[in-house]
Amino acid sequence: MVDFIEAHRDAHGIEPICRVLPIAPSTYYDHLAKRANPARLSDRARRDAALRPEIERVWEENYKVYGVRKVWRQLFREGFVVARCTVARLMRDMDIQGARHCPRTNGGQYLAPRQTASDNDP
């Protein structure tokens, strides 16, 4: 939303755009200040910014198959004290996940969908 306001502020102004959008002008200015000075970010946001590259590194070093639990355990082994739910939240935000098991197959062939009684009716 902040990017949209920045793109259109020359044509319309900040306050008129904020009146139409569900954002207060003070919120817009706060976001700009946090972009300019990362020290104004919350502790959680700063911690998340530090953990994101580590999570991605562990995930990529392990062939992108580690899920939340294994990434969390590996970070713990490396000395990062972080909650599992935090790793889960950040992995979800980063749109990464562990490998999934393949569906059961029958001799290399996928199982055919089940037939119902209505499939046999003429």
List the end-to-end C-alpha distance of the chain, in Å, as a whole number. Answer: 56
Return the amino acid letter for 117. Answer: A
Q: What is the pLDDT of residue 115?
A: 56
Report if pTM > 0.95: no
Contact 81, 75 (CB under 8 A): no
Paired tokens of 100: 């999934």
Looking up tokens 């919120």, which residue turns up? 27
Sorted by where each begins, the domain ranges of the chain are 1-40, 41-99
For residue range 48-106, what is the model confidence (pLDDT) as tens digits? Answer: 999 999 999 999 999 999 999 999 999 999 999 999 999 999 999 999 998 877 666 55
Q: What is the pLDDT of residue 78?
A: 97
Give 79's strand partners.
none
Name the burial class of residue 59, with classes exposed (0-12), middle (13-18) and buried (19+) by CB atoms within 10 angstroms of its CB.
buried
